[in-house]
Structure 1
Amino acid sequence: MIRPLEKEDYNIWLQLAKEVESLFGEMVGNKDFERGIQECISSFSAFCIVDNCNEIQGIIAVNKTENEICWLAVRERSRGKGYGYQLLKTAISFLDDKKPIYVQTFSPNVKAGKAARKIYMRFGFKDYKDGGKNPAGINTMIMKLEKINRN
């Protein structure tokens, strides 16, 4: 089940962030990141997917103003179950379908990012421009989903 994140989910988001810091860079303890989490929760622009035990297994956050996916992560133990796909589907439906949607993700040559790129490409995202290195020092790509590619 997918639902909006609530204030009570803040610490769980931090736990998930800690789990993926090797790919994204330091987030836990970063005041800007932690403030961003609070803003996403209070503006209802972050969603989570919960398993049958009602435990959060993944989170996605969007920026409606920029029409972009800001953050997506699924717990390592829950990858390959379609959670990322379901979260992305929800996020896309929340954004403006009359404008392109953007996401910064891993470059094609980053092995650890292949699964994330595959999910974005299933929805029609295409490489748009170089995104530089993320805070973890990993090469990234800005991908773009054009309105005409939606089904």
Structure 2
Amino acid sequence: MRVRSATEADLPGILELAGEVEHWFGPMVAEPGFHRALHKHIADDRALVASDADQLAGAVLFGGAAPRYAVHWLVVSERARGRGAGRQLMDAVIDRLTAGRGLAEAEIVEVVTFGVDHPGAVTSGARAFYERLGFVPAEAAEDGPEGGSRQVFRYQRASPA
């Protein structure tokens, strides 16, 4: 698995990945706002892709600035789930956001994922994935465009004991 900056040439593959999860996240592939977000994140070097044998296995959009960073969107293809693409993408995001210095004690990374009662909460594995990475469930977030519940998950480096 190789993680690299996304380019405009990756747009068809990213949209294909988005199509795999629209049933959980609501419409994206035909949404102009999603296309604008993709172009902006790519132009700002805030989009990464994971590829496996010249095929996109995942993508992530991220942003923010110290002390609060955000993962705006993360998707891993169904065929690649459980093979490390998500973890590699998240590791690369943290590295990029912190310029390779690691997360400082006062800094946090937030992601909004499925609420506990959302049908995709278990099926997608997203909540368990973020918890394995050290994120903890926090406050509820605004419902998704498909009407499903959402929750903020937050990662903050633990204080030295």
- Superposed pair shares fold, TM > 0.5: yes
Gaps of 5+ in 2: none
Aligned ranges for residues 46-57 of structure 1 at < 5 Å? 46-51=47-52, 53-57=53-57
Find the residue that maps to 1:73 and give its secondary structure.
strand
Map of 1:107 onto structure 2: 115
Measure the CA separation in 2 of the matches of 1:107 and 1:93: 27
Measure the CA separation in 1 of the matches of 2:16 and 2:91: 23
**In the alignment, residue 86 of structure 2 is paired with which amino acid?**
G
How far the C-alpha of 1:93 sits from its partner, in A, is 1.9
Q: Larger % of helix: which?
A: 1
Measure the CA separation in 1 of the matches of 2:16 and 2:71: 20
Aligned ranges for residues 1-150 of structure 1 at < 5 Å? 1-51=2-52, 53-65=53-65, 67-96=69-98, 97-98=103-104, 99-114=107-122, 115-148=125-158
After TM superposition, the score normalised by the length of structure 2 is: 0.85
C-alpha change, 1:112 and 1:149, in structure 2 (3 Å) is: farther
How far the C-alpha of 1:17 sits from its partner, in A, is 0.9
Gaps of 5+ in 1: none
After superposing the two structures, state which structure 1 stretch, 29-38 or 82-91, moved more.
82-91
Write the deviation string for residues 70-109 of structure 1: whole angstroms up to 9, x where unpaired: 0100111221212111111111222242311110001223
Write the deviation string for residues 27-61 of structure 1: whole angstroms up to 9, x where unpaired: 1121111000001111111111111x211110011
**In the alignment, residue 142 of structure 1 is paired with which amino acid?**
V
How far the C-alpha of 1:134 sits from its partner, in A, is 0.6
After TM superposition, the score normalised by the length of structure 1 is: 0.90
After superposing the two structures, state which structure 1 stretch, 34-43 or 121-130, moved more.
121-130
Measure the CA separation in 2 of the matches of 1:113 and 1:60: 19
**In the alignment, residue 58 of structure 2 is paired with which amino acid?**
G
Number of aligned positions between the proteins? 149
Query: Would the aligned equivalents of 1:47 and 1:59 in 2 still touch at CA under 8 Å?
Result: yes
**In the alignment, residue 90 of structure 1 is paired with which amino acid?**
A
- RMSD of aligned C-alpha atoms? 1.7
Measure the CA separation in 1 of the matches of 2:159 and 2:150: 22
